[in-house]
Structure 1
């Protein structure tokens, strides 16, 4: 039988790396010119632009005269573009971000003649467990990937990659990388190349990708194919594309293996399983931007359209594109030069400011357009579709320090956290401030129940004094408690008593400091390391007690080695100042932890250890659309070197928002805003180790203990990255839940209530700087805006997880999405109730295609049965 070798011309275009996107952009402009010329003149039959549209968009921005020629080639199927906007990381990027990446990429590709419906992932550092169902819901039924697959899952290149819900794609694994075909151009050893690419194949249709990182167009491809065909007897090379490759594989109708789960092993390629902690500062702000876009801005814009504020899709897309450019696999991993990471950080800052400003604008516009607006009223927005009852902290400005707050006519108790007196007179060198110009800026705490997906109004009446206790500080007290926990500071240790489960946790958390001889890709222990356990024995203690919350503040200095040289010499001379706030809120079953520290040491790693004293062999973490159970010890750990794996299959894993360990007696779950890496350590008393940061100084280094061989990043030059030593102040926010059992859906719900803040706006003119643009006037809407609004209510949704609510891609309706986070079928997901009258709704997919024959007209959405890990997307139109 003659094998058909499908020669696929392409380039892999790293958006940025040790070079910036600006530097690469210049080459891109000339490269695409060459691609167009080669395809138009028949020098090449097909060419693939790396499956991402961001580079096409960048090219067309300054080459507008080439648009028609480019479109003609795309329409003919000669030039393959999309479906991604950027080649995204999958392990530390949220599911909704992956969906927006594909939606924006496919929309842009289709506008130019047709995005390729191929799940093309040539270089991402591992494949998420959820990708098959994401691809399937986006209308993509075939995929090509390189990294992550090991022989204990499948030896074969052709396979069905499946999700637990039954979704699957026909996949082809590029075991030899996307660059293997360069040998066709540069070597005449045809037999060796054929032997290499046939290992693990069962089909007679075999891929030979010819391309590489920022590689030029191979104008002699046809000539080299002809030369090889002359030399080969049983194989025939044809110029081709992945569509034809998969058509050939499908035509043979062979029984292919099925693979489930995440692909995160380094048998055939490096996977960098500790890249999740590189440059924590980037990961923190990206996490914040993703949270705001998905859980605040998109729902808020959807709410705004219902009261007459036009939906600006292009503006939302602009912010998403800024964000998605930072999700490219190198960018998200932060394995780049300093100048590149400075550009990434600036894009993240721009996305942060734009998204924050949009939330500010919309909350103000809605608030000032209400038909019964009064001075000092506070409009509070719930951008989640479930009722929320929780303690809120609000900053308000009033002319008097005595006031009462009412919600729906009922007085609300509150307490004053802080109060400052200011003047709103123009500033002068010689101040002569009038007493009438003074106002009070207060931070208050109150407990409030909010209706779902909408807004409510608080009335603030000045001049009356209600029950307004201030928080009491007691510097001699060393414990705090609420209905659920008592937390004691004893001899430098944090001890916690769980009142509900009658369980005592001794020395609940501490800090571990170790050396790090690694690089921006991977942690690596030094040959001579010094591990230090840092407690809080020398802390200065402050305790504050209020009606709604109590806090234990620990402040002090950790003493660690300044450098690796000091570790070897057993010296500790570096001071790392810290402040740690432990908070309990009334009625809330979680422990808040906020840690602030200033890193002054080099080449080291710091981790937060949670001493759960749990006996288990599994951890559970969240994924883009679900959860995953992972072994504490990788089954390949003892044999990876003899099997010649590219790196150690460490117990370090990625997380998005939380990680849990539990047994029959104890359950410990840690939620984070920005920390993306964990490891479970210990023997019978397991601890959760969350990597706070790694401070390293090189992009890539060779011959690491965990990753032998050549350097990652660049094999021929040490590239110093002093910025990644993170010599700066760093902030961390965690929520900790203790108990006896674990529920995936409850974990997601707690995370959303904990991590998604409540936007609000106060109607007042005393303080013109509560938001960036409040100094300027705003025109209210001409139509009457209701004083209260609630669109959809998911209070009766059972066991499934809310994922997003936004305007539909066509702008005519809305999209709400849920998923089953467990491996078990859920018989009934519950119902979504409309508070805005009768609605037209229909189940759809992530492409948001609608079948008019399956549209319902009622005020309740019955979610029905969910298969294991199934995602359900619903299209909604309000009356």
Structure 2
């Protein structure tokens, strides 16, 4: 290594939009900061540049209050003195979906390009660990680097960094993803504030730089030393040029420059003369004592994670594909609405937001944002399915006369789908405009005779269903060319069995009088064996006296016992980290009697309800409040659980569908206890040293045992759609909806423990910040699915888990002719281990963008057969820029070779 030393001082502020203060209080401070920055840049050419934290939302937040400053702001961006992008926001890595990550990059680039150049910096200063696919995502975004503060080095209280070993020899490293993509990794080994508040007083500066230079040289692979001049919500250091002049005088052998990331990277590249350590896959601080990983933010305020899962799915797996299919029929794709909905959702994705580790005000505002984004998504869905339904040929139902009530069921997942669907239909309707006397209009609707009706498919075959009369309902239409049109309707709810609805497609049905029904499609058999047992072709389910579930996989013959037992333990930690009181033994429902009853028995589904009335400790003892107020770090607390108990009433409903290869589990509970954690247990009894979990564009394999450095008794991890334990022949996968924390217990049974609720009372970082609403008192719920895999591949179970994430959609229509068949899929595809991730339209080109990822480490071939006219196909990046043309053979499927763990995007050009 050369003896030459250069101190690259990069000015920045890490801007958490909301955290220990509500958003608007931080917002006011942001406006002051940017005002100050613009003045400094105008007045002092020696103040070279400022990095705006890698997120373009700062521009929106500032200009919302100071729109008159846009020209001035733009000037400094175009002159390269304010560096912006590449993200819209700095989002958490493990609690946001792959597609949310892609939209974040796409929208960040779009917004940045309106002002000037996009800063091609993979910036993750304070992200709570990083997913393994980050290098591939960076490469596909034209970014060759990743700057990060966590993941390979211990980080503790108030973001202090330890001095021990970590996975890389230097602060510079090669980071490789599961597909082989590599980027230059830059670890903020001394944190992203190691050059903060540089003194101008010579005596103070000499001591400051003696310490700082030594700290940086300890880890650096070259003499190019990085100093980050800023920290969380840090104001601009106005006297930095003077501080740099002082440093130059004191240390003439070191070149001090007010630098930026681009110049630093270039200098580093020129200076590197040795091989760097290579780190592969996830960066999750596993070679640490385990107390500072912040993994338990995955279970803080679970309700936020559940809302986020639903919001993401509604946008990326429902609204976008349905809008894309509607666009193939000539309907405009609402890019502007999608951008707004995604931005609103992503405003909840920064780590201090989605992680649930802020003050209560922040998370109350998040609920509103989730609802706003969801409302936009639902409106887009409604518009899209109406367009598609109007093009579907339902004329086959004309044979049933004017009484037929057609409806369409939509499957927006990437695989054919069977299951129970719930549809609401208006079977009689009178509009207020009809000038029928008000009371007579209501009477006509209320007196409409439901009679004996049935559901049939487009071939006239009867479909098993259950009908519930919802009675009189008020409704209204909002036409594009008229004032709102109110009406009264007689509404029914129909639960039916949909079978083999095409992937990326739909199937039409109709509610018709029974006299017209055709052949019976399904025998009227029951899945119920007795009051505690149900069975289909794949699974046998039995409920034991204590409410636990015994599941037999009929394909493999393997039985899993003790499933769905609840565990409750004390938690004297905080929103960041779980901490069980010393010496406490968790309690479970294993020795508790349960009330068990069959609540639904239909030919297509059976459901058993399990009720527990459980005495649990009321909360922690009084010492915990004292320890919180005195800022006793959670690892040193001595508080315990109180002796007084309260009732925890839990209702569990397990549902087996006729064609289901998994068991649905729904849990609802009334939490009146504080400072505790509630989990559901799934013993696998599978002999394996590792397990698999769904992460961003990846099914990652993790060790069941922690590293030798790990001392935390808890060994929790992040998941998205599922966690799985398997051996060479069998396995058990547990899917979830918005339950992001799990642990594979070291209990000799490889039990999967999924967190349903964590109740804590403080933020828990650098000060005293009470968060009573983080106790999550009141009603809670959880949705899971247990999926065994025996004779089939585990990837089949994973596909079931992914499909479980996506709700069915439906729309009522009328009898009409159309250009679409009543059973239709927009495209077919096949590829071993591949999962469809996204269907959308590219705003710049109008191309249809289809994205998959390879969930395995094996190479495969993706075959695609579009069922619509197109003029060409290209592979593209995640930014959906065309790269390589795909050869199109007349009459043949498109064929694309796919590498291990590769993310593949095809953009399909449409006829003009």
Relative to structure 1, the CA distance from residue 861 to residue 7 in structure 2 (aligned partners, 3 Å threshold; closer, same or farther) is farther
Counterpart of 1:447 in structure 2 is 498
1:489 deviates by 2.1
1:226 maps to which of 239, 245, 255 = 245
Which is further off, 568-577 or 491-500?
568-577
Alignment of 1:812-823 (within 5 A): 812-823=846-857
Q: Distance in 2 between matches of 1:532 and 1:677?
A: 19
Matched, 1:273 2:307: no
Alignment of 1:306-345 (within 5 A): 306-345=328-367
Q: Distance in 2 between matches of 1:87 and 1:697?
A: 26
Counterpart of 2:603 in structure 1 is 547
Counterpart of 1:494 in structure 2 is 549
Matched, 1:867 2:896: no
Matched, 1:208 2:227: yes
**Which secondary structure does the structure 2 equivalent of 1:356 belong to?**
helix
**Which secondary structure does the structure 1 equivalent of 2:219 belong to?**
coil
Q: Distance in 2 between matches of 1:471 and 1:280?
A: 39
Q: Distance in 2 between matches of 1:536 and 1:673?
A: 28
**Which secondary structure does the structure 1 equivalent of 2:861 belong to?**
coil
1:171 deviates by 2.0
Q: Distance in 1 between matches of 2:582 and 2:307?
A: 33
Q: Distance in 2 between matches of 1:740 and 1:472?
A: 25
Alignment of 1:289-688 (within 5 A): 289-368=311-390, 376-398=405-427, 400-416=450-466, 418-420=467-469, 422-423=471-472, 439=490, 441-464=492-515, 466=517, 477-492=531-546, 493-535=548-590, 537-543=592-598, 544-565=600-621, 571=643, 573-638=645-710, 648=712, 650-664=714-728, 666-688=730-752
Counterpart of 2:771 in structure 1 is 721
How many residues matched? 830
Alignment of 1:76-225 (within 5 A): 76-150=79-153, 151-185=165-199, 187-188=204-205, 189=207, 190-225=209-244
1:72 maps to which of 66, 70, 75 = 75
Measured against aligned partners, the alpha-carbon deviations of 1:526-561 in whole angstroms (never above 9, x if no partner) come to 135241011484322221322111111112322101
**Which secondary structure does the structure 2 equivalent of 1:104 belong to?**
helix
Q: Distance in 2 between matches of 1:349 and 1:538?
A: 39
1:474 deviates by 8.7
1:789 deviates by 7.6
Measured against aligned partners, the alpha-carbon deviations of 1:215-261 in whole angstroms (never above 9, x if no partner) come to 11111001111111111143221110010010011113432222111
Unaligned stretches of 5+ in structure 1?
428-436, 641-647, 701-711, 766-779
1:409 deviates by 2.1
Q: Distance in 2 between matches of 1:57 and 1:864?
A: 40
Matched, 1:759 2:814: no
1:736 deviates by 0.7
**Which secondary structure does the structure 2 equivalent of 1:237 belong to?**
strand
Measured against aligned partners, the alpha-carbon deviations of 1:156-186 in whole angstroms (never above 9, x if no partner) come to 1112211122211112111111111115238
Q: Distance in 1 between matches of 2:606 and 2:370?
A: 34
Alpha carbons 1:424, 1:439 under 8 Å: kept: yes
1:313 deviates by 0.6
Alpha carbons 2:136, 2:181 under 8 Å: kept: yes
**Which secondary structure does the structure 2 equivalent of 1:738 belong to?**
strand
1:685 deviates by 1.6
Relative to structure 1, the CA distance from residue 499 to residue 572 in structure 2 (aligned partners, 3 Å threshold; closer, same or farther) is farther
1:675 deviates by 0.4
Q: Distance in 1 between matches of 2:529 and 2:833?
A: 43
Alpha carbons 1:616, 1:684 under 8 Å: kept: no
Unaligned stretches of 5+ in structure 2?
154-164, 399-403, 428-447, 477-487, 623-638
Measured against aligned partners, the alpha-carbon deviations of 1:33-67 in whole angstroms (never above 9, x if no partner) come to 11122122225101011000111112122322221
Q: Distance in 1 between matches of 2:422 and 2:836?
A: 25
Q: Distance in 2 between matches of 1:546 and 1:193?
A: 71
Q: Distance in 1 between matches of 2:149 and 2:792?
A: 35
Counterpart of 1:747 in structure 2 is 797
Q: Distance in 2 between matches of 1:382 and 1:790?
A: 10
**Which secondary structure does the structure 2 equivalent of 1:420 belong to?**
strand
Q: Distance in 2 between matches of 1:696 and 1:238?
A: 46
Q: Distance in 1 between matches of 2:729 and 2:500?
A: 33
Alpha carbons 1:191, 1:232 under 8 Å: kept: no
Alpha carbons 2:581, 2:640 under 8 Å: kept: no
Which is further off, 63-72 or 578-587?
63-72
Relative to structure 1, the CA distance from residue 470 to residue 356 in structure 2 (aligned partners, 3 Å threshold; closer, same or farther) is farther
**Which secondary structure does the structure 1 equivalent of 2:199 belong to?**
helix
Matched, 1:256 2:276: yes
1:316 deviates by 0.4
Counterpart of 1:846 in structure 2 is 878
Relative to structure 1, the CA distance from residue 618 to residue 742 in structure 2 (aligned partners, 3 Å threshold; closer, same or farther) is farther
Alignment of 1:277-288 (within 5 A): 277-288=299-310
Counterpart of 1:708 in structure 2 is none
Which is further off, 82-91 or 361-370?
361-370
Measured against aligned partners, the alpha-carbon deviations of 1:337-357 in whole angstroms (never above 9, x if no partner) come to 001111111111211222122
Q: Distance in 2 between matches of 1:858 and 1:118?
A: 42
Q: CA RMSD in A?
A: 2.8
1:627 deviates by 1.4
Alpha carbons 2:570, 2:641 under 8 Å: kept: no
Measured against aligned partners, the alpha-carbon deviations of 1:451-494 in whole angstroms (never above 9, x if no partner) come to 33233322332252755999989997121111122222232242
Counterpart of 1:799 in structure 2 is 833
Q: Distance in 1 between matches of 2:903 and 2:596?
A: 47
Which is further off, 226-235 or 596-605?
226-235
**Which secondary structure does the structure 1 equivalent of 2:685 belong to?**
strand
Alignment of 1:33-52 (within 5 A): 33-41=35-43, 42-52=45-55
Which is further off, 195-204 or 295-304?
195-204
Measured against aligned partners, the alpha-carbon deviations of 1:607-644 in whole angstroms (never above 9, x if no partner) come to 11101112222111011011111111211345x6xxxx
Alpha carbons 1:655, 1:676 under 8 Å: kept: yes
Counterpart of 1:770 in structure 2 is none
Q: Distance in 1 between matches of 2:474 and 2:841?
A: 43
